[in-house]
Amino acid sequence: MNQFNVHKGLVAPMDRENVDTDAIIPKQFLKSIKKTGFGPNLFDEWRYLDKGEPGQEHVQRKINPDFILNQARYQGASILLARKNFGCGSSREHAPWALEQYGFRAIIAPSYADIFFNNSFKNGLLPIVLPEAIVGQLFDECFGFPGYQLTVDLDRQVVVRPQGEEIPFEVQPFRRYCLMNGLDDIGLTLRHADKIRDFEAARLTAKPWLAQTLPESFR
């Protein structure tokens, strides 16, 4: 998982409430057994005019010119500005995968669905909660100024506007620690790899018949 410390990026405004996970990554793409390759299908039904299917060649698809992410001024955006209850619907982890693989590092919204919120932290995507009035101001600024950028400083827990004004936000300390160190659940476990190997070695000494059940790396 990529580390998140300070990120400055172009902002794209998703001016819709209750954006659900089926809109973020439609259900047909959940057939994939891989954890990669979902970026081109982010917001697939809004982004394209034809129906998308897994394995389809994206360069041949019909782009929806009215969709916000297809507009030239938002190309390369890495911060998504959203309305309340972002990520509602089913619990698919593919939603933060698709957002992160498209290139987003952070989302700013007044509120999120709980499961999506938790899944985002586990996949290197920072969901920032700000008051609805402040989010509304950011939307106005984003629409009003092409090339609008924000800086997200996770260490100091502030969003910095272009003019330098800082907007504070809060992230639970353990989640902040994991993001800043690039640690997902597997990474957290592997910090204790030496202790795991020592435990398995002692266990095999006492019960050698268990050797066939262990991965080679722990023998």
The pLDDT of residue 133 is 98
Same domain, 111 and 143: yes
The pLDDT of residue 214 is 55
Q: How many domains does the chain have?
A: 2
Residue 105 counted as domain residue: yes
Same domain, 16 and 106: yes
The pLDDT of residue 110 is 98
Same domain, 79 and 150: yes
Same domain, 173 and 199: no
| Least trusted range by pLDDT, from 51-60, 141-150, 163-172 | 51-60
- In 10 A of CB 157, how many CB atoms? 15
- In 10 A of CB 102, how many CB atoms? 20
Residue 1 counted as domain residue: no
Domain that holds residue 39: 6-181
- Give the C-alpha separation, 160 to 183, whole Å: 25
Same domain, 203 and 96: no
pLDDT tens digits, residue range 35-65? 889 999 999 999 999 988 888 888 889 999 9
Same domain, 41 and 85: yes
Residue 144 counted as domain residue: yes
Same domain, 19 and 89: yes
The pLDDT of residue 215 is 59
Which is more confident, 115 or 208? 115
pTM for this entry: 0.87
Same domain, 166 and 84: yes
Same domain, 98 and 27: yes
Same domain, 39 and 92: yes
The pLDDT of residue 91 is 87
Residue 108 and residue 130 in contact, taking contact as beta carbons nearer than 8 Å = yes
Same domain, 78 and 171: yes
| 101 pLDDT more than 60 | yes
Q: Tell me the three-class secondary structure of the chain, residue by residue.
A: CCCCCEEEEEEEEECCCCCEHHHHCCHHHHHCCCCCCCHHHCCHHHHECCCCCCCCCHHHCCECCCCHHHCHHHCCCCEEEECCCECECCCCCHHHHHHHHHCCCEEEECCECHHHHHHHHHCCCEEEECCHHHHHHHHHHHHHCCCCEEEEECCCCEEECCCCCEEECCCCHHHHHHHHHCCCHHHHHHCCHHHHHHHHHHHHHHCHHHHHHCCHHHC
Which is more confident, 69 or 199? 69
Same domain, 32 and 107: yes
Q: Residue 121 sits in a domain of what CATH number? A: 3.20.19.10
Residue 28 counted as domain residue: yes
What pLDDT band is residue 118 in, cutting at 50, 70 and 90? very high
pLDDT tens digits, residue range 63-84? 999 999 999 999 999 999 999 9
